[in-house]
Every structure is written in C-alpha cells, then in structure tokens.
Structure 1
C-alpha cells in the first residue's frame, strides 16, 4: 500500500509517517508539505518521501494521488489566534484546500482519512462532547475545520468516496513545536518551565481540556488506513479525560522538577471553556485502541524536549577539567 500524508512534515504528520513506515503492509509513504508550519527535519530517519508543495495546487495533488492507495489529510493552517489574525488564510487552506484534496481523491477513487477538530463543538455546553451534538464554532479556525469535515463527509455521501473524519482533541507529544506565539499549551508550558520563564495562562486556568498523546493518535490513523475504516459521521479521537489547564502546569512542573511561575493573562477570544470527548464511537470502531495515561505521555514529551540543543544546559565552569599530557 502507498499512502500520502498531507501536512506530512508537521507535528502529527511526521509522527504518522514514522508509524506508517513501520507497518509491514505499507510499501511507500509520501509526505506533502509546504513547510509553512512543518519542518523537513521532522522526517529525519523516516522512510518517507517529502514533496514540498501545497494542497492548493490541484495539478500537483492529482499527480501524487494518482499513485497512492490512501490519503491521510492533515494539512491545515492551525491555531485559533492565527485564524483571528487572518481569517481568510485559514479558510483558504482549511476549507478550499480540503476540496482540492477531495477532488483528487474522487477522480482516482482513493479513500480519505481527514483531521477535524474538537473546536467545532464551540459554545455547546454539554459534556462530554458526543458526535450527535450540534456544532457552534467560536472562531474562524473552528469554522474552517467544520468546513473540512463537512466537505469530507459530503463527498462520502455524494460520491460514495470512502471517508473517515476524526475530531482531534488537544493532541500533544514529541515534535510539537514551542517558542512561538501560536504554540499549543503543552509545548508552550514545557518550553517556559525548561527555560525558567513565566508560564502564561490565558484566563483563570480552570478551563479544561481532553489531552491525547500523539502515539495513540497515529496508531489509530494508521489502523484506519490499513483496515479501510469508514464512517458516515465524524468520530472523536479522544478518551474523555478532563484536565484543568492549571493542573497541567503543576503536573509538568513536577515532571521537570522546576517550580512554575504562573502569570495569568486575559482570556483569549474564541477559546472554548471546557472540552471533553465521548470516546464511545472511537472504541466501537477501534476496539483495540489503548489510551496513554497523561502522566506517561507528558513524561515522554518532556524527555524528547530535553534532547533538543536549546534545552540542554551547558556544563558549569567548575566541572570543566583540562588534561595536560
């Protein structure tokens, strides 16, 4: 089987390429990425072909999709704050780009597994969030991801295209970048704690999230591709945990062994107050799925961060020795 991963040099995409390349039934993995938020270095040591290009290029998509057996569509312009700064750019990549991907898949009858987001639930207060709830997006990003999944499911209904749309909930783990204005909460907190700088929490910190470790996510995605799993509606990819953001900070501080200097800032527009998934449909479709406990996943993520040069402390001068021979 040959598999195309759009956004394949990004955080989730590169981890998925690594997982797919390890599966004996996968012959070739192609990562398509414009490197606007992904990095070629994420694919170092991975048996995958990187094609630098955009999902907004229909001719390129048609050429690549004609030679694969499945597509995992992860390419997107992420981040709620980024969408507030430039709503049109988020719409163009997330909505229009998805249609280009789907058109190529429709022409060549190639199944699609695609990434939506828990943000589509938005202002709906019911917990846990189950897939039959209405959607009330609170940001341009959330609206664009709702468009993504809606187009995917519509192509399945209209053209008989085999499709599966996952709603991701706060995925975290190795390769997730930090140190920029749009960093997700886990890498942003780890970065601050390792550098000894204040941890910025927007709002009171009592907002809750359902965190999902990247290893679990990519195993489910790979399984979906190999077993050709489809579903006429969206599927939550999370397990129903509910962790206050301030508690996440304390857990990370304990793992790193550094006190957290928490600085509260004004809540951000478009942020959802509480997020928690119902995982019933996920377990029905993937009965062997295993959740990685948050503490274990955070420890693995911190371990990866400590391998990066910018987080490796220099040897103190008093420990340096000079050998004279």
Structure 2
C-alpha cells in the first residue's frame, strides 16, 4: 500500500514509518519543514496540517491509507494553551481528512488513554465512557470523533488506537520529551538533571508500552482496517503497570547510576491506570513483544548514550 504518515519525524511517527517500510509498504512522511530526519525508505512530503490550501496540493497523490500521528501531546502545557491544542489536534485532523485524496480508504489514528480521564474501572476497557480531564485529552477525543464520523460516511474504514505511556527507542532516537517519567529519570542518570521530582510517595501505577510495539500495532491496524463505513477503537497495551518507585529502581538497575528524587506534595491523580487490551489481541492478533520495563529502559538508555547523554 501507499501510506502517508503524518508527524513522520516525531518520536512515534518515526517508529511507525520504519515499521511500515519493513512491512513492504511505500511510505510518504508528512513534515512541516524539509530536511527532517526520517527513517530510511520514507519519502519526505512537506506540508502543514494548518495550511489547508497548501496541504491539498501536496497530498494530490494516489495514497491508499494514512496513519495520522501529528499532534501536540503535553498534558500540563494544554492547560495553559488549550486553544492551541484544539487547533493543532482537532482542526489539523479535520484539514487532513478534507485534503485526503479519494483513493485513501484506510485511516489509522493515534490517540491516547487521556480520553478516559480518571475512571474507577481498572483495567480500562474500550467501553468505558470517555471523560477527559485535560484540554489535551479533550482535543484528542474530538479528533477521534472526527475520524470515526468521517468513516461513517463511507469515505474510509478507520481504526483508533488509544495508548498509555509510550517509551523506549528505535533507530537510536530517544523520547525527547523530558516532562515524561522515563526520559526525565534517564536525564538524571545521565547527569543532565540534578534530581527527579515525584508526586507523593511514588506509588501511582501506570502502564508503559515500547514505541516499537506501538509501531507494530499501527501496522496491524492498517492492514486489518475495517471496510469503508466502519470504525474500530482499540486500547494498545499489555495491561501491566509499574509504580513510579518501580520505574526509578529499574532505571537505576539498568544504568548502574543513582537517580536522586525529591518528593512534592501528592496531586489529585488516579492511583492506577492500565488498559484492557483483549479486543486488539482478538481482532488484530497484536500483543506487545518488547514492553517489559527493563527492555524499554535499556533501549531508551542506549539511545540517550548514543546522543551524548
């Protein structure tokens, strides 16, 4: 298939493009600026999701499918700039769907478990009613709905993949967002930061997914996409969690270096967030292969070291 990947130079987009090329697909990577680092075999397509006129011109090619991964993702930042997040994540998605050539009959959208908010039910199934508690989560939910309603018109089949905490590395590229726990803990281990601040006692449990496993899920979703007129929503994960304390210990064990911590007051956050991923295993035959915490951290640490950390 001829596949367009938006956000192809980003952390997840790079991994997805790499996997699609390995699976034999012809891949174009949408980037806003020329010269961005893309996986070998991914052809750059320069365009901006917030420039509808220019976008239509660069997408005038017979693509078969799109993996839409371009987005703003920082939860805390979204509270300060909610309109910026809605513009990028919702309007950008609408602009993309309007600009896609009619040959595109498969749409895979990379979403987030932030759409669930703070549910009492654990592990979280796809049937859980979304109730996002951040502008980021709300913007991703609105973009999901745009994709799924677009599919209902018969224009395409669609798959939405909701993920929790993505980590690890492929191609020597670490997660650049050091507001997230594992990248920040590795920055401390590498000596680029003095300490890791944690909320409360570090007992909050979260699920972690290797970025390469998430990329493999996108390939499965693309190849197993439902026919035009239908849409599916899947949690992408393994259903196992680790506490903040456990992550810190694993970082220290893998790196052989201390990670000094400073406790901040507890925050109003769910004590446990893990997913029920039975549906994606049943329908697409996907399950994580590289998402054991030590492997995630070892791969991320190797990438940090290779970039001079």
TM-score of the superposed pair, with normalisation by structure 1: 0.85
Q: List per-residue Cα deviations over 1:16-42 (Å, max 9, x = no partner).
A: 111112222x1x32111236xxx923x
RMSD (CA atoms): 2.3
By how many angstroms is 1:108 displaced?
A: 4.4
2:256 corresponds in structure 1 to 257
| Match in the other structure for 2:130 | 135
TM-aligned CA deviation for residue 155 of structure 1: 1.3
Q: Which moved more, 1:92-101 or 1:259-268?
A: 259-268
Residue 218 of structure 2 is aligned to residue 224 of structure 1: no
Tell me the distance in 1 between the aligned counterparts of 2:21 and 2:252. 34
* Residue 14 (structure 2) aligns with: 14
Q: Which has the higher contact order (CA 8 A, sep 6+)?
A: 2
Q: What are the residue-to-residue correspondences of 1:1-325 with 2, within 5 Å?
A: 1-24=1-24, 26=25, 28-34=26-32, 40-41=36-37, 43=38, 46-67=40-61, 68-105=63-100, 107-174=102-169, 175-178=173-176, 183-195=179-191, 197-229=194-226, 232-266=231-265, 272-292=270-290, 293-309=292-308, 311=309
Q: Measured at CA, do residues 273 and 64 of structure 1 come closer, stay the same or move farther in structure 2, by a change above 3 Å?
A: farther
Gaps of 5+ in 1: 312-325
Aligned CA distance change for structure 1 residues 298 and 248 (closer, same or farther; 3 Å): same
Question: CA contact under 8 A between 1:66 and 1:108: conserved in structure 2?
Answer: no
- Residues 194-218 of structure 1: CA distance to partner in whole angstroms, max 9, x if unpaired? 1162112234321111100011111
Q: How far 1:107 moved relative to its partner?
A: 4.4
Deviates more, 1:278-287 or 1:217-226: 217-226
Is the 8 Å Cα contact of residues 175 and 300 (structure 2) preserved in structure 1? Answer: no
Distance 1:272 1:31, change over 3 A: farther
Helix, strand or coil: the match of 2:15? helix
- 1:179 shift after superposition: 6.7
Asked whether the equivalents of residues 113 and 224 of structure 1 are also in contact (C-alpha less than 8 Å), the reply is: yes
- The whole-number CA distance in structure 2 between the counterparts of 1:88 and 1:268 is 25
In structure 2, do the counterparts of structure 1 residues 33 and 240 end up closer, same or farther at CA, with 3 Å as the change threshold? same
- 1:53 CA drift (Å): 2.8
**How many pairs align?**
301
TM-score, length-normalised on structure 2?
Answer: 0.89
| SS of match in other structure, 1:210 | strand
Structure possessing the higher radius of gyration over alpha carbons:
1
Q: Which has the higher strand share?
A: 2
User: Aligned partners of 2:95, 2:265: CA distance in 1, in Å?
Assistant: 38
1:50 to 1:295, Cα distance in 2 relative to 1, 3 A: same
Unaligned 5+ runs, structure 2: none
